[in-house]
Amino acid sequence: MSIISKDIQKAIQLLTDEQLVAIPTETVYGLAGNIYSEKAIKSIFSTKKRPFFNPLIVHISSIDVLATIVAHIPKKAKLLATTFWPGAMTLVLKKNAKIPDLITAGKDTVAVRVPNHPVTLALLKQLPFPLAAPSANPFGSISPTKPVHVANYFKNDIQMVLDGGACKNGIESTIIGFENEEPVIYRLGALALEDIEAVVGKISIKNKKENSPDAPGMLARHYAPATKTFLVDDVSLEVKNHPKKKIGVLVFKTSLNNKNLTEIILSENNSMQEAASKLYTSLHVLDTLNLDVIIAERFPDSGLGKSINDRLQRATFSL
């Protein structure tokens, strides 16, 4: 029997019973557990094979819950939260003493967001506790954007994927930390940098830390397909470097018109939003076709293109 189900009551029961449930969000599916259950949190780490130094995001039902999670809310954090929540933005703030160290990997800060998905918002509103949820993929593999991706990863490990359809945004939330009360980008993501800057002004990016990173999702190769994957400006040119190979190409908007290739066009309408929403699904698809190589096209370096390039860089051998 499939573990994919729309039964919210069953999800409530499992979560209350300290079990894990995969939940839909607008970004990617999360592997969720009660933040106050040591058993549930430990099993998130062991199910994902995630190292304990990598902290989890706390998901809350509304901005009103924030004060029970954090010790201090900088002015600009409040402004960002009221502007973008529910939405694809995670804030890293000084943690409240009640938040277990397991969740924050011993840090004195906690990552928190209000996800913008009707099913998960309904779930959170009915639970007396917030949910810790990292992306629902084994450590190092591609984040899931459909229930079936999660079921394929974890069907032997968890009892339920709460079905909320395909994720609208398709890449993870943008993570913002605070240094001396000023916002700093820790991870580029589904909320474009320009949209954030329109609210709080110019913001610095600390996206590239690699050892003991502020946001360990920033480890150099993190979102990796198993097939060798290249990221290039000129895909046709790179194709010539792989004679007699089975090649998959992932392009933004323009077909290469080459019948010898397996091609996925991310957005024929030239929409970065559409491209972002299809990115991981397309990598998943290409990764299951037994190809020798995948060649991905680099995006224009603005708006969501910046975030897409960030994910592609981590998935690939950049040239």
Q: Which is nearer to ligand TXA, 36 or 246 (CB)?
A: 36
Asked if residue 310 binds ligand TXA (CB under 6 A), the reply is: no
Q: How far is the CB of 219 from ligand TXA (least distance, A)?
A: 8
- The rounded distance, in Å, linking the Cα atoms of 304 and 27 is 13
Q: CA quadruple 160, 165, 171, 174: dihedral positive or negative?
A: negative
End-to-end CA distance of the chain, in Å? 44
Asked if residue 287 binds ligand TXA (CB under 6 A), the reply is: no
Distant-in-sequence contacts of 68-75, Cβ < 8 A, 24+ apart? 68/96, 68/98, 69/93, 69/95, 69/96, 69/99, 69/110, 69/112, 69/130, 70/94, 70/95, 70/96, 70/110, 70/112, 71/95, 71/96, 71/97, 74/178, 74/181, 74/182, 74/183, 75/181
Asked if residue 186 binds ligand TXA (CB under 6 A), the reply is: yes
Asked if residue 37 binds ligand TXA (CB under 6 A), the reply is: no
Phi and psi at residue 231, to the nearest 5°: -120, 120
Asked if residue 192 binds ligand TXA (CB under 6 A), the reply is: no
Contacting range for ligand TXA; rule: CB under 6 A; set: 65-73, 130-138, 145-153, 241-249 = 130-138
- The rounded distance, in Å, linking the Cα atoms of 91 and 185 is 10
26 in Cβ contact with 190 (< 8 Å): yes
Asked if residue 175 binds ligand TXA (CB under 6 A), the reply is: yes
Q: How far is the CB of 304 from ligand TXA (least distance, A)?
A: 14
Residues binding ligand TXA: number (CB under 6 A): 27
**Two structure tokens written together for 13:** 């029961």
54 touches, from Mg ion, ligand TXA, none (C-beta below 5 to 8 Å by class):
ligand TXA
For the beta carbon of residue 307, count every other beta carbon within 10 angstroms: 26
Q: Which is nearer to ligand TXA, 30 or 86 (CB)?
A: 30
Applying CB under 6 A, among 22, 35, 41, 56 the residue interacting with ligand TXA is 56
Applying CB under 6 A, among 111, 119, 192, 312 the residue interacting with ligand TXA is 111
Asked if residue 44 binds ligand TXA (CB under 6 A), the reply is: no
Site for ligand TXA in 74-103 (CB under 6 A): 90, 92
Site for Mg ion in 132-151 (CB under 5 A): 135
Give the footprint of ligand TXA on this chain (CB under 6 A).
25, 27-28, 30, 54-57, 90, 92, 104, 107, 109-111, 115, 133-135, 172-173, 175, 186, 214-217
